[in-house]
Amino acid sequence: MNICIILAAGEGTRMKSKNSKVLHKLMNKPMINYVLEASDSVNVKKKIVIAGKNKNDLESLFKDEDILIKEQKIGKEYPYGTGYAVSLALAEIEDNDKVLILTGDTPLIKGDTLEKFMDYHNKNGNTATVLTAEIDDPTGYGRIIKDNNGNLIEIVEHKDCTEEQLLIKEFNSGFMAINGDALKNSISKLDQNNNQGEMYLTDIFSIMREEGNKISTFLIDDVEEVYGINSKLQLSIAQEVLRKRINEAHMANGVVMENPANIFVEDSVIIGKDTEIRSGVRLTGKTVIGEDCLIYGDTIIDNSIIENEVIVKSSVIENSFVGEGTDIGPFAHLRPNSKLDKKVHIGNFVEVKNANIGENTKAGHLAYIGDADLGKNINIGCGVIFVNYDGKFKHRSIVKDGGFIGSNANIVAPVTIEEEGFIAAGATITKDVGKGELSIERSEQRNIPGWVERKKERDSRKN
């Protein structure tokens, strides 16, 4: 069966961070997750992550997944190097297994590339295959040394290269496919006789060659896929690559993007054709956007479902549902568990939380609708507040079809306003309102003649 070993113990000192390198995020997802997801393309049956000081963090990240984590300990009593790291997984490998070795800080690798790589390894009957690429300046990478027939002789780490070997452009990506029996045999023969005193995993190829095994390389065209991350700058460069891939895939499927370089869409998001996403939009989580929508401004939509023909302007939508033909914003906020039916209007500075709003209902501006169930064709005036909290408990209010809530009204839960109930502006409603009733709750207005003149006289006497 196929087994995957992912090397993830590096501390990444150049990241200048207290956090593990492989747990730094690209498009809101830890970089190691991209490597694991790519390995799924080759039907991996067992995944082994080699951890270091980040063992607890990795265990927490993968607590719900079938991933085995082995710790590479550091100290004078332990060997050092990639060869030792891989040796920690040998007990999990059978002789007839095919072992795919990947690095956790190389998140741009594509699943279909790994699939082609493993197919090449198997179809050519190789004992080992190394995935390679070429670059004008391969500083820091191990060089690929071949014989006249193009067969791999060895991989020489950059620090151990001769002047002639440093001129070689083809380098080791760190990705390898090796037969289980050969991997176990060759690792058992590794030593630390090199400039760094490390157990180099790459030394196994010289051992295999001496024993007559077939070793090949698999050269890929896109060097970007094996781009390793060792700094915050490289992290940002890799994120731009992923952003571009994601946005180009959406545009290929019929989405219009005004300025793709300034649109953030996670790879878990689904967007329907002919929807237009303009500059500054951020779509995250398991968000699903329908067809023929228009989303623009500084809009953030997270884990929400947006049906067809919705317009969203500079607003925030979280864990909510928005029905067909609805328009939202600018500067509106749908907090979790908000559900809007068809053709709802949520205007500027309106906040909705844990509420259901029926078809054709409108809240134009400056309102708070929390813990409420609103029917169809309701008008919510400016400044309306659904008062849902009594200092100890949250309560719900109900407004049925055709209701009218006047400006600056307070709906103090729990109350029910029946069909076509009309709430006068400025009222504070604490009792149920019947069908078709007008409810007014405010003091009678009094106008006191001469009050201002008398006040002036009193003030002058005080002075």
Instruction: Determine the 3-state secondary structure of 313 from DSSP.
Output: strand
Catalytic residue among 24, 121, 365, 395: 365
Distances (CA, A) of 11 to 62, 73, 138, 198: 19, 12, 22, 16
The pLDDT of residue 372: 98
Phi, psi torsion values for 314, nearest 5 degrees: 40, 60
Helix (H) or strand (E) holding 143: strand 143-146
- pLDDT score of 197: 65
18 by Cβ neighbours in 10 Å (0-12 / 13-18 / 19+) ranks as exposed
What is the C-alpha to C-alpha distance for residues 63 and 106, in angstroms, rounded to an integer? 22
Query: 357: which 2 tokens?
Result: 């709003």
| pLDDT value, residue 123 | 95
Radius of gyration (C-alpha) of the chain in whole angstroms: 32
DSSP, collapsed to helix, strand or coil, labels residue 70 as: strand
Residue 8 CA to residue 24 CA, distance in Å, equals 12
* Angle of CA points 391, 395, 399, to nearest 5°: 135
Helix or strand or coil: residue 59?
A: helix
Q: What is the pLDDT of residue 131?
A: 95
| Residue 436, burial from CB neighbour count under 10 angstroms (0-12, 13-18, 19+) | exposed
Burial category of 301 from C-beta neighbours within 10 Å (exposed 0-12, middle 13-18, buried 19 and up): buried
Q: What one-letter code names the amino acid at 434?
A: G
Identify any residues that bridge with 100 across adjacent strands, giving them in sequence order. 4, 177
The one-digit pLDDT tens for each residue of the chain (463 residues) are 799 999 999 877 888 899 999 999 999 999 999 999 999 999 999 999 999 999 999 999 999 999 999 999 887 777 788 999 999 999 999 999 999 999 999 999 999 999 999 999 999 999 999 999 998 888 888 898 888 777 888 888 888 888 888 888 999 899 999 999 999 999 999 877 666 667 889 889 889 988 989 999 999 999 999 999 999 999 999 999 999 999 999 999 999 999 999 999 999 999 999 999 999 999 999 999 999 999 999 999 999 999 999 999 999 999 999 999 999 999 999 999 999 999 999 999 999 999 999 999 999 999 999 999 999 999 999 999 999 988 889 999 999 999 999 999 999 999 999 999 999 999 999 999 999 999 999 888 789 899 899 988 898 887 7
The pLDDT value given to residue 195: 63
Give yes or no for a contact between 270 and 283, defined as CB atoms under 8 angstroms apart.
Answer: no
Identify whether 333 is a catalytic site residue.
Answer: no
Distance CA 358, CA 349 (A): 19
> What is the Cα–Cα distance from 35 to 48, expressed in whole angstroms?
12
Q: Which two tokens stand for residue 215?
A: 């070793």
Calpha distance 13→15 (Å, rounded):
5
pLDDT of amino acid 442? 84
Question: Given this model, what pLDDT does residue 141 score?
Answer: 84
Contacts of 63 (CB under 8 A, 6+ apart): none
By the 10 Å C-beta count (0-12 exposed, 13-18 middle, 19+ buried), 298 is classed as middle
User: What domains, with CATH codes, occur in the chain?
Assistant: 2-226 (3.90.550.10), 232-439 (2.160.10.10)
